[in-house]
């Protein structure tokens, strides 16, 4: 069965103007049926359509906001902000110490959704007051809601609708959560290649660890904690579509000038949980101080491809030197 998330099918935009395009409900259902996903097709068939058979954009937006709100609750329960900050904090510290930016140190969240990560970082102050926090997403409804929540919470961050790699103000660090599995093949390579800009010091993308039992854990967890059938469906599909480390490292190598590594926190590996594990890319001169910031073995390990220039050989701990 081809693995497709319903949320990837229900919104479409013109690639040039970014104007929203109509999506026929019957086409979404047919796509899922052709993929062998009859459960997903039944969920899609229940989405509201207008008289022309197109999905009602307002109803779709409300549904996506509701699903992302449930995802935010899961993120809060799993303390994802704390886990992500464990790596972002030392990464930002070494960039700051190296003086790699002329202006503000800017962290850009790619595909931010409701902006949970950006808002958590702004609320906690985990990265310091000098960091400019920006969330970017193509979906106008999600960006609008993220901005509303940030204003309501009085948080020093902002949200932009558009392409995270085409901002007027460049990113120092690109981050994302749960985005990588949406890309395949050349599109995944291009995602990383777009981050190889002169001002980029690093990227840090968290996605589901591709363990054999992760889909089972995702099914149990989403059935227990999510009410919306669309969210349950897509949550399990996310775990099933997760890339293995070698695929991510090979794709991340397309970001010229940035050394790709996977960070594996010790004591956080549970094959039943859809644990987020990051693939990172850093400028080679930042690797030694990053290892020093992360500390020796017990904190975790940076794992790279053996053929990556400046990378860490397979299995080397964060506190060990590069080969």
Give pLDDT, residue 215.
65
Q: What is the pLDDT of residue 230?
A: 94
Task: Point out the least confidently predicted range of 30-34, 146-150, 263-267.
Answer: 263-267
Render pLDDT for 191-229 as a digit per residue (tens, 0 to 9): 999 999 988 999 999 998 876 666 666 656 666 677 899
Q: Summarize the confidence of residues 55-64 as an average pLDDT.
A: 96
- φ and ψ at 182, to 5 degrees? -75, -15
Q: Is the pLDDT of residue 185 over 90?
A: yes
Q: Is residue 109 over pLDDT 50?
A: yes
Q: Would you say 207 and 177 are in contact if contact means Cβ atoms under 8 Å apart? A: yes
- The Cα–Cα gap between 271 and 205 comes to 20
Task: Reply yes or no on whether the pLDDT at 4 is more than 70.
Answer: yes
Instruction: Indicate whether 176 pLDDT > 80.
Output: yes
> What is the per-residue pLDDT across 122-161, written as a single tens digit (0 to 9) for each?
999 999 999 999 999 999 999 999 999 999 999 999 999 9
Residue 292 has pLDDT above 70, yes or no: yes
- pLDDT at residue 265 is higher than 70: no
Q: Please, what is the average pLDDT of the chain? A: 86
Model confidence at 88: pLDDT above 90: yes
What do you get for the CA distance between the two ends of the chain, in Å? Answer: 41
Q: Where does the pLDDT of residue 271 fall: very low under 50, low under 70, confident under 90, or very high at 90 and above?
A: very low
Task: Render the burial of 10-23: b for 16+ CB within 10 Å, e for the rest.
Answer: bbeeeeeeeebeeb
pLDDT recorded at residue 216: 64
Least confident of 55-69, 188-202, 307-321: 307-321
Confidence of residue 189 (pLDDT cuts 50, 70, 90): very high
Where does the pLDDT of residue 52 fall: very low under 50, low under 70, confident under 90, or very high at 90 and above? Answer: very high
Residue of higher predicted confidence among 224 and 255? 255
More confident: 276 or 53 = 53
């Amino acid at each position: 069965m081809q693995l497709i998330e319903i949320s990837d099918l229900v919104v479409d935009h013109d690639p040039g103007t970014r104007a929203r395009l109509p999506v026929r409900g019957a086409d979404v259902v047919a796509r899922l049926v052709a993929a062998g996903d009859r459960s997903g097709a039944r969920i899609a068939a229940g989405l509201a359509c207008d008289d022309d058979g197109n999905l009602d954009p307002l109803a779709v937006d409300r549904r996506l906001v509701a699903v992302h709100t449930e995802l935010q609750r899961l993120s809060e329960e799993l303390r994802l902000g704390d886990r992500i900050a464990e790596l972002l904090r030392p990464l930002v510290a070494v960039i700051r110490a190296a003086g790699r930016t002329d202006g503000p140190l800017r962290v850009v969240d790619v595909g931010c959704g409701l902006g949970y990560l950006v808002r958590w970082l702004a609320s906690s102050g985990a990265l310091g007051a000098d960091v400019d926090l920006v969330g970017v997403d193509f979906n106008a409804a999600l960006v609008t809601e993220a901005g509303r929540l940030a204003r309501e919470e009085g948080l020093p961050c902002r949200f932009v609708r558009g392409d995270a790699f085409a901002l007027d103000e460049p990113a120092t660090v690109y981050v994302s959560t749960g985005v990588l599995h949406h890309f395949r093949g050349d599109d995944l390579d291009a995602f990383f290649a777009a981050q190889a800009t002169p001002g980029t010091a690093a990227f840090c993308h968290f996605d589901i660890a591709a363990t054999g039992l992760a889909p089972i854990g995702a099914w149990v967890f989403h059935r227990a904690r999510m009410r919306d059938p669309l969210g349950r469906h897509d949550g399990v599909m996310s775990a099933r579509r997760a890339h293995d480390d070698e695929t991510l490292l090979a794709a991340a190598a397309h970001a010229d000038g940035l050394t790709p590594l996977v960070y594996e926190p010790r004591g956080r590996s549970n094959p039943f949980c859809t644990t987020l594990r990051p693939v990172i890319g850093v400028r080679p001169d930042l690797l030694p101080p990053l290892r020093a910031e992360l500390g020796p073995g017990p904190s975790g390990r940076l794992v790279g491809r053996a053929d990556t220039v400046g990378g860490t050989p397979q299995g080397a701990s964060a506190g060990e030197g590069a080969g």
